[in-house]
Amino acid sequence: MSFQYVNILKELTRRRGVVKPLNERVDRLRKFVVESEVKLSVERARLITEFYKRGLGRGKSVPVQRALAFKYLMENVSLPVEPGQL
């Protein structure tokens, strides 16, 4: 690793350590997100597969297909509400 890269990493770590939450609820949510495990979504995979199988983006450029797939996902995915989010 280069000296400059190490210094950048140290600075980022320092700055992340001094983040001041807006309030207690935001602090709890931030900790929840930072400390939670990465989850794979079967629903997301199913919806994206469904989008491409239906050919909803056929004939469009790849970036437009991806944008349309994301739009389809956002319009159809269920939104779980975790404790403390409301």
Q: How far is CA 44 from CA 1, 74, 79, 84, in A?
A: 37, 9, 11, 24
pLDDT band (50, 70, 90) for residue 46 = very high
* Token pair 């400390």 in the structure block, residue: 35
Which of 42, 19, 43 is closest to 29 using CA atoms? 19
Span 27-48, average pLDDT: 88
What's the CA gap between 40 and 75, in Å, rounded? Answer: 19
Which of 19, 43, 41 is closest to 31 using CA atoms? 19
pTM value surpassing 0.85: no
- Taken in order 65, 74, 37, 31, the sign of the CA dihedral is positive
Dump pLDDT digits (tens) for 51-72.
999 999 999 999 999 999 999 9
Q: Which two tokens stand for residue 18?
A: 């001094």
